[in-house]
A and B are shown apart, each in its own frame.
Chain A
Amino acid sequence: MVKSVLSSAIKEYLLAFADDEHLMGQQHTEWIGIAPFLEEDMAFASIGQDELGHASMLYALILEGSSEVDAFIFNRKPEEWRSCQLVESNHQNWEEALMRHWCYDMAEDLRWELFRESSLPELVLISERALKEEKYHRQHADALVENLLKVSTSKSRLMKALEGIVPEVLELFSSIPGETEAISSGLVSGKYCDKLPTWRSRVENRFGVLDQKLFATSDHQARTKRHLDFAPLYGRIREVFLLDPKAVW
């Protein structure tokens, strides 16, 4: 039996990122075809594909070349997922979907930056590719937001959505299982939570100074507690799989 290169703590650390990317991509797909105009349908489709692609590369790394990637992803119990609540919550309005896209992508490059000098060469390559794609995600979200903030009615919609999303973003930055070992082994260059001030300054540069209270509360449970919206999402993701566990699709 080949000895695993990655420790279980490091796999747990990478799993949090893979699950976030997977569910963020999944959430974007829910908006294809019902966005305000065709260009946005296509943009959400493109960004969703990129995020799922990142997830796929991270899962492949965790599974160290196993071909059972889908079985691993889709047969897990809810408590075995390590996604954050931001990507699990079901947003009903397009302003919430846009603001989640803005907030998540303004945080995502900061996460990939931590892998730029990783001790794992594959991660360096994945992060370089992801950082190139993320630049366009941020440009897309920010150009739309910049214009929508110029009109008072759309501005108030975005600000209300932002206030609901900021507390969820704090969990994204909170302590990630396996992080201590990931840092000591050289897998990443530092703690993700240290990037929170950078993210906050991006938010306040674009939207102005926000109520301090928004940054004070977060239900941190090390990504072990699933959002109430996770159950139906989990059901949709596994619906075809559950028809016949033996089937290869």
Chain B
Amino acid sequence: MKRSWASLEEFQKFLDHGGIVEPVDDMPREYRQTVFDFIEMHANSELMGGLTERDWIPKAPGLRHKMSVIAKTQDEIGHAHLLYMVAADLKIKTREEMMQDLFAGKSKFHNVFHYRAKTWGDQVAIAFLVDAAALVSQQAVFKNCSYGPYKRILKRIIAEEGFHLRFGEESVLRIAEGTEVQRNMFQDSINDWWWPALQLFGPDSKPNDLLLRWHIKSERNEILRDRWIQKFVPLLQGYGFTIPDSGLRRNEEKDRWEIGPIDWKPLKQTMIMGGPDSARRISEASDSWEKTGWVREALEKVSA
């Protein structure tokens, strides 16, 4: 049954009391747009994450690893698929339009997927650090998400991301106990991926953050970021790796790890498609999309 609200204040009260919005509801325009933008960026990021990792599937060291990374990439693309459908139901853009915008560099995706996975160590670092950061964020959204369809598919996404993280943990453990070549490779990956993964949470949330007010996110960026730091600093140090942060220190009084100042310039660059691998990533994706356009056109003709 379609529901509507007389004013934004009433809608806010509904959300504050744990109300769940469904696509058929007559939701406020600003809410619809905010939810759409958030889900579209999540969908784009899942797809671009799959593309970041696809480079290393053919090179995976062993049949079991190969099957694992295929399954992982399949999951990421599957998440994109589900998220695009949920976003399309908001009737702001079709799935086709969202993908066209992505390949034209007109819509955003997470900062970490503007970097290139240059080694197998990077592939493992993505599963270990980046997937963990994404999982922390997604769990916080799932906890109190006011948009029903998004909350429901996040349940599945979170379950699958948990497997990805375990793949990363298992691989890091073997590398940590491995040869000097393996350890050096992974230390280089930590050096390259630590800060981008940490910046995935974004700058501190603003006091008037709409995503928090409308219960799309349930926790502030800085709290989520800190949760990730408290987990990964001791883990990596325990494995004998170094964190590339000269300002990192242990605050014994608070029993917490404190990091040095964050340079937000790299994050800002990715937001304007100026990250280290943004141009190649977009142009390759766009090129493949164009080259296979004949298939989509033919199937459209058949179904017309």
Q: Is the CB of A45 within 8 A of B77?
A: yes
Question: Which residue of A29, A45, A247 contacts B181 across the interface (Cβ within 8 Å)?
Answer: A247
- Chain A 1-41: CB-based contact to B (< 8 A → 1; otherwise 0): 00000000000000000000010011001101111111111
> CB distance B74 to A45 under 8 Å?
yes
> Is A22 in contact with B63, judged by CB distance below 8 angstroms?
yes
Q: Given contacts A33-B50, A70-B62, A248-B178, are A41 and B298 in contact (CB under 8 A)?
A: no
Task: Render B23-64 as a binary contact track against A, CB cut-off 8 A, 1 for contact.
Answer: 000000000000000000000000100110010011111111
Cβ of B8 < 8 Å from any Cβ of A?
no
Whether, in the assembled complex, B66 has its beta carbon less than 8 Å from a beta carbon of chain A, the answer is: yes
Residues on the A chain within 8 Å of B64, using CB: 56, 70
* From A30, A37, A49, A153, contact of B296 by CB (8 A): A37
Chain B proximity of A32: nearest CB distance (Å): 5
- Given known pairs A29-B66, A42-B77, A73-B63, the reply for A248 and B174 (CB within 8 Å) is yes
Segment at the interface with B among A167-175, A215-223, A236-244: A236-244
**Cβ-defined contact, A247 with B298, below 8 A:** no
Decide if A45 touches B63 in the complex (CB within 8 Å).
no
Interface of B is mostly: helix
Q: Pick the residue among A32, A38, A52, A69 that contacts B54 (CB under 8 A).
A: A32
Number of A residues, CB within 8 Å of B: 50
Instruction: Specify which chain A residues have a CB less than 8 angstroms from the CB of B301 in the assembled complex.
Output: 150-151
- Provide the residues of chain A in CB contact with B60, threshold 8 Å: 240
Q: Mark B273-304, 1 if CB is under 8 A from A, else 0.
A: 00000000000110010011111111101100
Chain A contacts for B62, CB-based, 8 A? 70, 74, 249
A106 near B: Cβ within 8 Å? no
A81 within 8 A of B: no
CB closest residue in chain B, given A56: B63
Inter-subunit contact A46/B59 (CB<8 Å): no
Contacts of B171 in A (CB 8 A): 249
Tell whether, in the assembled complex, residue A36 and residue B80 are in contact, meaning their CB atoms are under 8 Å apart.
no
The reply to whether A153 and B298 form a contact with Cβ atoms under 8 Å apart is yes
Give the chain A neighbours of B66 by CB distance below 8 A. Answer: 25-26, 29, 52
A148-B299 contact, Cβ under 8 Å, with A32-B50, A49-B70, A94-B292: yes
Q: Is the CB of B50 within 8 A of A41?
A: yes
Q: A237 CA to B178 CA in the complex, in Å?
A: 21
Instruction: Say whether A94 contacts B174, CB under 8 Å.
Output: no
Q: Is B67 an interface residue (CB 8 A)?
A: yes
Give the distance in Å from the alpha carbon of A69 to the alpha carbon of B302 in the complex. 46
- How far is B296's CA from A94's CA once the two chains are assembled, in angstroms? 12
Q: List 5 A-B contacts (CB under 8 A).
A: A32-B73, A70-B63, A153-B294, A240-B59, A241-B61
Beyond the given pairs A148-B298, A150-B298, A249-B120, 20 more chain A to chain B contacts, judged by CB atoms under 8 angstroms and listed by A's residue number, are A29-B57, A32-B70, A34-B288, A34-B292, A35-B292, A36-B296, A38-B81, A56-B64, A69-B63, A74-B62, A148-B295, A148-B299, A148-B302, A233-B58, A236-B58, A236-B59, A237-B59, A243-B120, A247-B182, A249-B178
Residues of B within 8 A of A (CB): 47, 50-51, 54, 57-67, 70-71, 73-74, 77-78, 80-81, 84, 120, 171, 174-175, 178-179, 181-182, 185, 284-285, 288, 291-299, 301-302
